[in-house]
Chains A and B, each alone.
Chain A
Amino acid sequence: MLLSASLPAGQGWQRPNQSGTGSPRAPGAWWAQGIRRELGLGGGSGGASGVLQDGSQRWDGLSRAGQHIQQHQDDAMELPWALLALAGMGAAADLAVQNRGSPRSLPTPPARLPYVPRVPPVALLGKVTASTFALEGPRCVFDGHADASDAVWLAVAFANASAAFRNPLSRADVPPYKQLPTARSYMTLETAAAAYSCSAPSPPVLRVGGDTACRDQGRQDPCNGPLPSPGPYRVKFLLMGCRGPKAETRWSEPILLRRAVSPSTIDPAPARRGSAVLVIASILASLGAVLATAVLGALGAKVWGSLCHQNLGADAFIRRSYRTHHIPPALPQPLPPGDIFR
């Protein structure tokens, strides 16, 4: 049976050696014993929890991770990797059995936490743009799972590729931003786990896609470049320790980025003509028409009258400025007595 085990690197290997006094055997013997033991056990992963008696939660976590990984055997590692893992497990378990007498330990799959990442519900105008989006920081989520040296990564994948995402086994295997077009996923925003602890001052807001230098300079390391397409993305947080992923959250809901339309779709014409324009235009036009007809009518009447030689001054009552109405009319002077008898 194939197992895609998370390879406990580094420290895990040393533990049996630290406490053990057994002498190293020939590798071939370990290989054979490990394989036999694995096949005998039938791939059970429950035995890993009892290996170490220090009650470390990490070994419990690894056992749960192992159960989790067993559920995804369709995309399992290649046989040589599995056999190497088994050999490693066998070696470690062998030493542990030698030291403690308990069954071998398997790398446990990362703990699956119920937290669902989401875009912050507060009113931020720029929380989703055409190439970036914001996320609420996973505050208090990893408490109890994280050590001081662990890091929380953000895994971003296209919504239809999130099921195919496999957690990297170590920091060196983390898919960088550059692989997004081919691998359809990447990991970014490596942060110390202490930044998301409950004692942190306020829930941070993360901005995915804020580093344009990442894209422009074509960096190969994990960085936070802008997202190239609006196509819906799903994210999850992954707590990576030295031995590999220790805990992960659930995948978020699909996040769709903004799509901008061309300004040529804007129609600048007013929806309807204002009524004020109609009022002004109609009233002024009618006034102008009345005036024009009045002037033409008056001029026409005068011209017609002068042509017909009518007495135009008959009804004129406005006199020229030599009116003398201020001077009382002169009474007829009494004639000199001589004129009466002329």
Chain B
Amino acid sequence: MTPCSSYCRRLHEELRMAKTDDCVHILQGLLVFGNVVIGMCGIALTAECIYFVSNPHDLYPLLKATENSDIYAAAWIGIFVGLALFALSILGIIGVIKASRTLLLVYIILMLITFAFEMASCITAATHQDSLTPELFLKQMLERYQKSEPANNSDNEITKTWDELMLQNHCCGVLGPSDWQNYTSVFRRTHSDADYPWPRMCCVLDAQGFPVSLDGCKLGVPGYYNSNGCYDAISGPVSTHAWGVAWFGFAILCWTFCVLLGTMFYWSRIEY
């Protein structure tokens, strides 16, 4: 082989490598970008789930009592998944730049486990957000609000939460004050219907905490009692958070799916 032909062959190979190197560059660039996005989304997911778990609207006792507090479990999972996504994205960036098969294999496997956890969290959050119907809270309120001999501390918590809720949001009952008239309740057992058609918290209170007009409140004169139901005040924040956990997690997972496919293709093409 002449020096010229060997030179030409090597040049040809280098040119071919340059073209494929461009493809490699693009793929690497995309994977790095994908991992950066995953890392940032992981941090955002952690922050959102921490906010949700920190109980900003003091609604946790109500949800805990429904035995449907899996939304909180989903949020806890979301916190750890977010941190894991951030760490794994850094690992992925290093593995892609160094083109290391081992690192990328570890990255792929750990990412799959995180994917599975986040999938569970999303589906749980979506399912249990769906189950927070007005009837659920209505039944809980009628059976436990102002229970005279509270079986455990959660009944006291429920009473306190409802009182705070009705005071802060100027609302009464779940669908309205007629909840107390349409159904019997433990409240009705200790408070007679003539004196308390609905709890005192449903009345418009003055600065000292006394009803502005007790007779007006008992008769239901507009302006002296709260006629709205509290369901919007309960379901609003909880729905927002639950949808945040569910849909944001879903978006992250779709993105992660694409990045993982790209990484697996990249890994299969790395030579030993």
Q: Does A336 have its Cβ within 8 Å of any Cβ on chain B?
A: no
* Selected interface stretch from A23-31, A64-72, A261-269: A261-269
Q: Does B204 have its Cβ within 8 Å of any Cβ on chain A?
A: no
CB distance from B162 to the nearest CB of A (A): 15
Q: When each residue 124-145 of chain A gets 1 if its CB lies under 8 Å from chain B and 0 otherwise, what string results?
A: 1111011110100000000000
Q: A263-B138, A266-B183 are in contact. Are A281 and B218 (CB under 8 A)?
A: no
* Selected interface stretch from A161-169, A204-212, A238-246: A204-212
Q: Does A41 have its Cβ within 8 Å of any Cβ on chain B?
A: no
B136, A268: Cβ atoms closer than 8 Å = yes
Q: Does B185 have its Cβ within 8 Å of any Cβ on chain A?
A: yes
CA distance A267 to B227 in the complex (A): 24
Q: A126-B220, A287-B257 are in contact. Are A318 and B142 (CB under 8 A)?
A: no
Chain B contacts for A331, CB-based, 8 A: 7
| Nearest opposing residue in chain A for B179, CB measure | A263
| Nearest opposing residue in chain B for A285, CB measure | B119
Q: Does B123 have its Cβ within 8 Å of any Cβ on chain A?
A: yes
Q: Does A270 have its Cβ within 8 Å of any Cβ on chain B?
A: yes
Q: A277-B126, A329-B11 are in contact. Are A317 and B184 (CB under 8 A)?
A: no
CA distance A295 to B105 in the complex (A): 10
Q: A288-B116, A332-B7 are in contact. Are A325 and B264 (CB under 8 A)?
A: no
Q: Does B166 have its Cβ within 8 Å of any Cβ on chain A?
A: no
* Selected interface stretch from B12-20, B34-42, B44-52, B80-88: B12-20
> A interface, by DSSP: helix, strand, loop or mixed?
loop
Chain B contacts for A332, CB-based, 8 A: 3, 6-7
Q: A125-B220, A284-B253 are in contact. Are A267 and B135 (CB under 8 A)?
A: yes
Q: Does B130 have its Cβ within 8 Å of any Cβ on chain A?
A: yes
* Selected interface stretch from B152-160, B191-199, B205-213: B191-199
Candidates B99, B133, B197, B250; contact of A321 at CB < 8 Å: B99
Q: A263-B184, A284-B253 are in contact. Are A276 and B131 (CB under 8 A)?
A: no
CB distance from B107 to the nearest CB of A (A): 12
CA distance A127 to B221 in the complex (A): 9
CA distance A250 to B183 in the complex (A): 34
Q: Does A342 have its Cβ within 8 Å of any Cβ on chain B?
A: no
In A271-305, the 8 Å CB interface with B consists of: 271, 273-274, 276-277, 280-281, 283-285, 287-288, 290-292, 294-295, 298, 302
B218, A126: Cβ atoms closer than 8 Å = yes
Q: Does A123 have its Cβ within 8 Å of any Cβ on chain B?
A: yes
Q: Does A1 have its Cβ within 8 Å of any Cβ on chain B?
A: no
CB distance from A215 to the nearest CB of B (A): 8
In A156-214, the 8 Å CB interface with B consists of: 205, 207, 209-212
B219, A123: Cβ atoms closer than 8 Å = no
Q: A130-B193, A261-B182, A277-B130 are in contact. Are A287 and B138 (CB under 8 A)?
A: no
In A89-139, the 8 Å CB interface with B consists of: 123-127, 129-132, 134
> B interface, by DSSP: helix, strand, loop or mixed?
helix
CA distance A207 to B20 in the complex (A): 90
CA distance A73 to B266 in the complex (A): 109
| Nearest opposing residue in chain A for B128, CB measure | A277
In B107-138, the 8 Å CB interface with A consists of: 108-109, 112, 115-116, 119, 122-123, 126-127, 130-131, 133, 135-136, 138
A129, B194: Cβ atoms closer than 8 Å = yes
B194, A132: Cβ atoms closer than 8 Å = yes
B143, A291: Cβ atoms closer than 8 Å = no
Q: Does B269 have its Cβ within 8 Å of any Cβ on chain A?
A: yes
Q: Does B225 have its Cβ within 8 Å of any Cβ on chain A?
A: yes
Q: Does A226 have its Cβ within 8 Å of any Cβ on chain B?
A: yes
Q: Does A258 have its Cβ within 8 Å of any Cβ on chain B?
A: yes
Q: When each residue 161-182 of chain B gets 1 if its CB lies under 8 Å from chain A and 0 otherwise, what string results?
A: 0000000000000000110011
Chain A contacts for B185, CB-based, 8 A: 263
Q: A207-B218, A294-B264 are in contact. Are A261 and B272 (CB under 8 A)?
A: no
A316, B182: Cβ atoms closer than 8 Å = no
| Nearest opposing residue in chain B for A288, CB measure | B119
Q: When each residue 319-335 of chain A gets 1 if its CB lies under 8 Å from chain B and 0 otherwise, what string results?
A: 11101010001011000
A283, B193: Cβ atoms closer than 8 Å = no
Q: Does B75 have its Cβ within 8 Å of any Cβ on chain A?
A: no
CB distance from B67 to the nearest CB of A (A): 11
Q: Does B26 have its Cβ within 8 Å of any Cβ on chain A?
A: no
Q: Does B271 have its Cβ within 8 Å of any Cβ on chain A?
A: yes
Candidates B24, B136, B192; contact of A318 at CB < 8 Å: B24
A318, B271: Cβ atoms closer than 8 Å = yes
Chain A contacts for B21, CB-based, 8 A: 323, 325
Chain A contacts for B267, CB-based, 8 A: 298
* 10 CB < 8 A contacts A-B: A131-B192, A260-B183, A260-B184, A266-B135, A266-B142, A270-B130, A277-B123, A288-B115, A318-B24, A329-B14
Q: Using a CB–CB distance below 8 Å, which chain B residues touch chain A?
A: 3, 6-7, 10-11, 14, 17-18, 20-21, 24, 98-99, 108-109, 112, 115-116, 119, 122-123, 126-127, 130-131, 133, 135-136, 138-139, 142-143, 177-178, 181-185, 188, 192-195, 197, 215, 218-222, 225, 227, 246-247, 250, 253-254, 257, 260-261, 264, 266-272
Q: Using a CB–CB distance below 8 Å, which chain A residues touch chain B?
A: 123-127, 129-132, 134, 205, 207, 209-212, 226, 258, 260-263, 266-271, 273-274, 276-277, 280-281, 283-285, 287-288, 290-292, 294-295, 298, 302, 312-313, 315-321, 323, 325, 329, 331-332
